[in-house]
Every structure is written in C-alpha cells, then in structure tokens.
C-alpha cells in the first residue's frame, strides 16, 4: 500500500506518537521544534486529504485491515476535511508563532510536558474528525478534553485552575451523556459504526430508546460545543488559559463538537426518527438565537479583551447552530462556511491578543489604550480580523453571514426573526469590535504603552498571515465554500 | 410486576446516575463533586455491562467440544474497560487540580474560591 493510502491513519498517528518523543526531548527548544514539525506534518496531511475530498472522493480507511463494521473504519468527507484543516491549521499557526508567548507563561522545566499535551489535543481533535465509529469518537473526545484541561490549567494565575475545574466537571458530564446515548443506540442496533447504525436503525421497531439516545447525544455534545445556556465553562476557560492555548482551542475545539453533533443528527437519526428534523430545529433554533443575543450583549460591556472575545464566540457558535437548525442546503452550507470563517477571524484576534500580552502587562481595554500607534502591524491585523468578525464585505466573515441571511430569508416568517437577530447581533459586534479599536487607536497611551515595540517576528508573521487569509477568503471564497456545499449535500443526502 | 423487577439493573442505573448528578450540582466541595462525577460515570458503566447479558449466556471463550454454547456479548465489556480508564484519568486529573487549587486558594469549597476571586 502506498503512503497516500495511509494518510487518514497518519493524521492521528503522527501527533500521537510525537507526543511521547517530545517528553523525552526535555529541552524547551527541541521539544518546541518537534511539536511544530509534527503539527506542520499534520497540516500537510489535512491539505492533501482536502485535495482528495475536493476531487470528489470520500476517503474510506479500514484500521488494521479489518472490514467495517467489525473493525474501526475511518471516513473523511467534506465536513470532516474542513474540520481537519481548522484543527491542524490553528495548531500550526499557534505553535509557529507561539514560542515567545509560551516562554513567558510556562516555566522552562515544564515546557516539554506542555508541548506533549498540546500534541495530544491535536491528535484527539483530529481523531474525532476522521473516525467513523461512535465509541471511537468518545475516546478521542476524552483524550483531547483531558489534554485541553492540562493546557488551560497551565495559565499564569490561579483563576486558570478554578476555570479548568469547572470545564472538567461540565466537559465530563457532556461526554458521559454522549456515552449514555451511544450505549442506547448500541443496545437497539448492535453496532457502533455510523454508516452501519443508519442502516440497522431502519429495522428497529421500538424507537423510544433511540429518541432518548438522540436527546442524550444532542445535549451532551451541545455542552461540549458551548451552546447557550451550556456555555458557562467557556468564558473562564478562554480568559485564563495561556494566550496561545486560547488561540488554538477557540479556533477549533467547539467546532469539532458541532461536527459530531451534525454527523449524528443528520446521518444517523434523520432518516430513522419521524419528524426528527422538526425536533432538532425546534430545540436548537431558539437556543441558537438566544445565544447570539446574549453572547453579543455581554461582549458589548466586557472590559477584559479575552473575555470579550470569548463571549463573542458564544454568539458565533449560535450563528453556526442557527445555520444548521434551518435544515436546508443553504443553511448548512452557511453553517459549515461560518465554522471555517469564524475560526480564521477568532484565531487571528486571539493571536493579536497574545502579541499585545507580550509587550504589555495586561489585556484589559485600559491596558491596550493607544497601542495601535506603537504596534501598527499587530493593530492592523486585529482590525482586519475584527472586520471579518463583524462581517464587513471583502472579509471572510461577510461571505458566511451573507449566506446565513439568505438561508434565513428563504424560511419565511420564522426566518425573518432569525434575520432580525443576526442583524442586531452584527450591530453589537460593530460596537464591541469598535470598543477595541477605539481603545487601541484613539486613546492616550500610557507610559508603558509608549515604550512598547512591535511584537517579535514569528508571532507577527503568523498574525499577518491569518489576517491576510481573512481577506483572501473574503475575496476568493471558492475553496471553503465548495467544501461547505459538499458538506451540506452529504449531510442532507439522506433527507427525503 | 416481574417485568419491573427484571429491569432491576436499569433502575439502579437511573438512581446512581441521579445521585452522582445531584452531588456534582449541589455540593460546593470540589472533592465531593469529583466523587459525584465518579458515581455518575459508574452508573453508565453499569448500563453497558447490563446490556451485554444474554439469558443463560456464559463467558465468551471458545472451548473444544462445546459447540452450542450461548455466549454473553463481550463488546460492551471491552468498551467499558476503555471508559473506566477514561474515568480514572478524569478523576486523577480532577484531584490533581484540587490539590493545586488548595495550594493557591487555601480552600476547596467552590463558593469560597469564587469569593476570593471577586475580592481581588
């Protein structure tokens, strides 16, 4: 078998096996280099896989040569490939640019362990995106979650510890709910393979356990995805984590949970439960709308930059779920495209925050007053990413928001409510992004800010690259859009 | 009546799940929260182990000369072995966090740590 055929397995195996190697290397410099190399390799694999998927291939791989449903099969479709790109891309950018930032936050003697945990998060999140087995998803979810707790608890002050504890409790409850749901489906079908599950569910006559399972799985994954009102772990965890961890985790981990949610609800349950789409939409739509409103409203009054962006993430997750709960081709395309675009915008913004933190003593709005003139390039990148977050034409955020509005308009009266909410929340986004820009550019700089220089080259380069991607994918959105459209077709393929 | 009794394990599952869940939500003490979380997870282990029971089934080991034996389903047991490992790791990590929280705050009561953060 050629190496290309093994790419789906290597996607997980490369970071997973590099993790113990990084522990053995011990020195901070070498362990960083090994972790970055593994992450770059994973990104290259994800790009190669995306190329195959775009060529119209659904990649199917049997672990150890055991045929499904007996062995574990790996399946990579368009949505999975999109998620893989996000996970590996965010990890690579944060690692390449993050060396200086992490050096200030993690003590040298522990840094190799930190990088090992980082690689395990990467392996776990990639594993969720490639696997075609429901129990395997649980295992990878817990692998990545446990390692994420370690990364977040490495944050500089003690509040990181309590925030992590909260996340650990809620994350475990979410994962256990998912496990209960999978158990019930297994009880009725005798299989754990997604594709096999869908086929065998059609023969199940007593559907009540499946309905219960759908409830458990949806709620459990909603907890992991930080859907309103289950998002309370998110602001604390994002705020107190090391800056680079926030940039990595905020860009992709909640999206991976949404990916599993869509996969279960559309592939497995959609065709087998009567009116499942109605239940799904009537559960998610109101919560998505509330999440958009509440997240944006809180972000408008928040004064800590990281916490502000975290609340904005709650709202953005609402957009993605709103698109999905419209259950139309246009809606799901918008949701998938927004996953990609939001990761670009939010990842770039958190990178900019990390750059500020390297030069300033804090990241509250007061602390960054006037920094725009001292760190013009960082500030410019922040402004571009902010514009993308708001959805200004010419940036990536505009493309998916426009799709979302079109999809909502197509739904009639109920859609109009959604349109009003999205517009209101975009106005709120203008307010909170403007507050950052106002503080950074128009306020009088303090003595500390006046002494600040531009961020070090690696982080600046990564940041500018991320900002440029926000503009590039705003002007030439063909690549994420075609993956998003393919995802929508696949997810709705079974829908009659 | 017999039908309800026959579902004995499932009743225990539901009761254990709720006891664990209650402890997680209602107790401010972090060690008790973790205890609750462990009970909560153990309930799910019981659910999986119960569902693999086949009436009259024996351990799934193939023996020479025995051809018409009924076997219990081994797969859920394997799955739950993995889930137990995950559960232990979660508890261990949680307890390690509690130790660190105690070092940093001098308390492991959630309400007191919240107050300490607000006072800052």
- A150 to chain B: closest CA residue: B93
pLDDT along chain A (496 residues), means of 10: 81 92 89 93 93 85 82 88 93 91 86 93 94 92 94 90 94 95 90 86 84 91 90 91 92 91 85 78 88 92 91 93 88 91 93 89 84 87 92 90 90 84 91 90 82 85 93 90 87 63
CB contact under 8 A, A169 and B37: yes
The answer for residues whose C-beta is within 8 angstroms of residue A53's C-beta and 6 or more apart is A59, A76, A77, A78, A81, A483, A486
DSSP notation for A290-345: HHHHHHHHHHHH--BHHHHHHHHHHHHHHHHHHHHHT-SHHHHHHHHHHHHHHHHH
**Spacing of C-alpha A239 from chain mean position:** 16
CA torsion angle for A267, A268, A272, A276 (degrees, to 10)?
-70
Tell me, yes or no, whether A201 lies in a domain: no
User: What is the extent of the structural domain holding A364?
Assistant: 275-486
Per-residue burial over B18-54, b if 16 or more Cβ lie within 10 Å, else e, is eebbebbeebebbeebbbbbbbbbbbbbbbbbbbbee
Q: How far apart are CA A4 and CA A157, in angstroms?
A: 45
Q: For testing the chain B interface, which of A127, A134, A168 should be mutated: the one with the most B CBs within 10 Å?
A: A168
**CA A97 – CA A88 distance, rounded (Å):** 14
A307: which 2 tokens? 């916490």
B36 lies in some domain: yes
Quote the DSSP letter at residue A227. -
Q: Closest Cα partner for A354 from A305, A403, A291, A292?
A: A305
Provide the domain count of chain A: 1
Tell the residue number behind the tokens 């994973």, with chain if given. Answer: A42
Q: Quick one: A130 exposed, middle or buried, by C-beta within 10 A (0-12, 13-18, 19+)?
A: buried
Contact A415, A408 (CB under 8 A): yes
Q: Are the C-beta atoms of residues A313 and A295 closer than 8 Å to each other? A: yes
Question: Could you give the CA distance from residue B41 to residue B54 in angstroms, rounded to a whole number?
Answer: 23
Q: Provide, as residue numbers in chain A, all residues whose Cβ is less than 8 Å from the Cβ of B32.
A: none
Beta bridge partners of A193: A133
- State how far the Cα of A194 lies from the Cα of A485, in Å rounded to an integer: 21
Q: What is the pLDDT of residue B1?
A: 56
3-state secondary structure at position A361? coil
Helix, strand, coil percent content, chain B, rounded in steps of 5: 70, 5, 25
Q: Is the pLDDT of residue B4 over 90?
A: no
pLDDT at B5: 67
Q: Is residue B95 part of a domain?
A: yes
| HSE value, Cβ hemisphere, 13 Å, CA-based, for A171 | 28
Residue A438 in any domain: the answer is yes
Task: Name the DSSP letter for residue A155.
Answer: S
Domain containing residue B46: 2-52+70-119
- The answer to whether position B59 is within a domain reads no
CATH of the domain at B75: 1.10.287.3510
- Report CA Rg, chain A: 21
Average pLDDT, chain B: 88
Answer whether residue A367 is part of any domain.
Answer: yes
User: Going by C-beta distance under 8 Å and a sequence separation of 6 or more, which residues neighbour residue B92?
Assistant: none
Residue A255 near residue A83, CB atoms below 8 Å: yes
Whole-angstrom Cα distance, residue A272 to residue A206?
Answer: 11
Contact B83 A168 (CB under 8 A): no
Q: Is the dihedral of CA A114, A117, A121, A127 positive or negative?
A: positive
Say whether the ipTM exceeds 0.85: yes
At A495 the pLDDT is: 47
Give the Cα separation of A301 and A312 in Å (integer).
11
Confidence bin at B10 (pLDDT 50/70/90): confident
Q: How many domains does chain B have?
A: 1
* Chain A contact present for B114, CB below 8 A: yes
Please, which pLDDT band fits residue B68 given cuts at 50, 70 and 90? confident
Task: Count the neighbouring beta carbons within 10 Å of the beta carbon of residue B73.
Answer: 15
Cα(A298)–Cα(A288) distance, integer angstroms: 15
Which residues of chain A neighbour B30 with C-beta distances below 8 Å? 165
Is residue B18 pLDDT above 90, yes or no?
yes
C-beta separation of A11 from A46 below 8 A: yes
Torsion of CA A80, A82, A83, A88, to 10 degrees: 120
Chain B residue nearest residue A70, CA to CA:
B75
Dihedral angle of Cα A31, A36, A38, A40, to the nearest 10 degrees: -170
Structure tokens that stand for A455 in this block: 């961020």
Given a contact cutoff of 8 angstroms between Cβ atoms, the answer to whether B110 and B98 are in contact is: no
- B86 vs A142: CB contact, 8 Å cut-off? yes
Q: Report residue B25 as tokens.
A: 């939500």
A98 is a domain residue: no
3-state secondary structure of A61: strand
Which stretches of chain A sit within 8 Å of chain B by CB? 135, 138-139, 142, 146, 149-150, 153, 158-159, 161-162, 164-165, 168-169, 172-173, 175-176, 179-180, 183, 186-187, 192
Chain A CB within 8 Å of residue B101 CB: yes
Question: Which is nearest to A243 in space by CA: A459, A432, A16?
Answer: A459
Residues B33-60 pLDDT 10s:
999 999 999 999 999 988 887 777 888 8
On whether the CB atoms of residues A171 and B94 are closer than 8 A, the answer is: no
Provide the pLDDT for residue A496.
39
In angstroms, what separates the C-alpha of A162 from chain B's closest C-alpha?
7
Residue B61 lies in a domain: no
Judged by DSSP in three states, A366 sits in coil
Instruction: Report the distance separating Cα A254 and Cα A103, nearest Å.
Output: 26
Between CA A299 and CA A304 the distance in angstroms is 10
């Amino acid at each position: 078998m050629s190496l290309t055929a093994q790419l789906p397995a290597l996607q997980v195996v490369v970071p997973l096996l590099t993790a113990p190697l990084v522990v053995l290397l011990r020195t901070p410099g070498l362990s960083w280099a090994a972790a970055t190399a593994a992450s770059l390799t994973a990104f290259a694999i994800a790009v190669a896989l995306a190329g195959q998927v775009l060529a119209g291939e659904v990649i199917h791989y049997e672990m150890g040569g055991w045929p499904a449903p007996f062995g574990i099969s790996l399946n990579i479709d368009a949505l999975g490939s999109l998620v893989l790109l996000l996970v590996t891309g965010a990890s690579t950018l944060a690692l390449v640019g993050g060396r200086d930032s992490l050096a200030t936050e993690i003590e040298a003697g522990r840094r190799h362990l930190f990088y090992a945990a980082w690689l395990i998060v990467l392996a776990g999140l990639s594993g969720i995106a490639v696997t075609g087995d429901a129990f395997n998803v649980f295992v990878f979810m817990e692998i990545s979650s446990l390692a994420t707790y370690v990364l977040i608890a490495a944050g500089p002050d003690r509040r990181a510890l309590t925030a992590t504890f909260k996340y650990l409790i809620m994350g475990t409850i979410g994962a256990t709910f998912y496990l209960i749901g999978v158990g019930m489906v297994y009880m009725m079908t005798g299989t754990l393979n997604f594709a096999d599950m869908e086929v065998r569910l059609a023969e199940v006559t007593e559907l009540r356990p499946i309905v219960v399972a759908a409830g458990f799985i949806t709620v459990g994954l909603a907890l992991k995805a930080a859907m309103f009102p289950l998002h309370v772990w998110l602001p604390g965890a994002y705020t107190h984590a090391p800056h680079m961890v926030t940039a990595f985790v905020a860009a992709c981990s909640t999206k991976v949970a949404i990916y599993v949610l869509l996969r279960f609800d559309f592939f497995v349950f959609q065709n087998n439960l009567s009116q499942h789409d109605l239940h799904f939409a009537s559960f998610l739509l109101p919560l998505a709308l509330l999440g958009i409103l509440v997240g944006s409203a809180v972000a408008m009054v928040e004064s800590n930059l990281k916490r502000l962006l975290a609340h904005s993430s709650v709202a953005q997750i609402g957009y993605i779920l709103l698109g999905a709960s419209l259950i139309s081709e246009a809606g799901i395309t918008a949701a998938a495209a927004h996953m990609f675009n939001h990761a670009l915008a939010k990842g770039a913004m958190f990178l900019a925050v990390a750059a500020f933190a390297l030069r300033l003593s804090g990241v509250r709005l007061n602390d960054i007053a006037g920094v725009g003139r001292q760190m013009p390039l960082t500030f410019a990148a922040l402004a571009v990413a902010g514009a993308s977050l708001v959805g200004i034409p010419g940036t990536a955020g505009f493309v998916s928001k426009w799709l979302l509005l079109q999809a909502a308009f197509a739904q009639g009266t109920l859609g109009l409510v959604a349109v009003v909410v999205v517009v209101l929340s975009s106005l709120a986004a203008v307010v909170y992004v403007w507050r950052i820009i106002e503080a950074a550019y128009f306020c009088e700089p303090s003595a500390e800010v006046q002494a600040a220089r531009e961020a070090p080259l690696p982080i600046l380069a990564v940041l500018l690259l991320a900002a440029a991607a926000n503009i590039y994918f705003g002007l030439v959105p063909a690549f994420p859009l075609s993956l998003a459209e393919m995802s929508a077709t696949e997810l709705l393929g079974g829908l009659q | 009546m017999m039908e309800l009794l026959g579902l004995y394990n499932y009743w225990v599952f539901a009761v254990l799940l709720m006891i664990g869940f209650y402890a997680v939500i209602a107790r401010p003490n972090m060690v008790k929260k973790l205890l609750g979380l462990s009970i909560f997870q153990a309930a799910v282990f019981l659910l999986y182990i119960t569902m693999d029971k086949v009436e009259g089934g024996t351990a799934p080991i193939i023996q020479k000369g025995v051809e018409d034996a009924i076997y219990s389903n081994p797969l859920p047991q394997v799955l739950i072995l993995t889930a137990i490992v995950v559960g232990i790791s979660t508890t261990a990590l949680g307890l390690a966090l509690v130790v660190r929280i105690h070092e940093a705050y001098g308390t492991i009561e959630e309400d007191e740590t919240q107050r300490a953060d607000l006072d800052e």
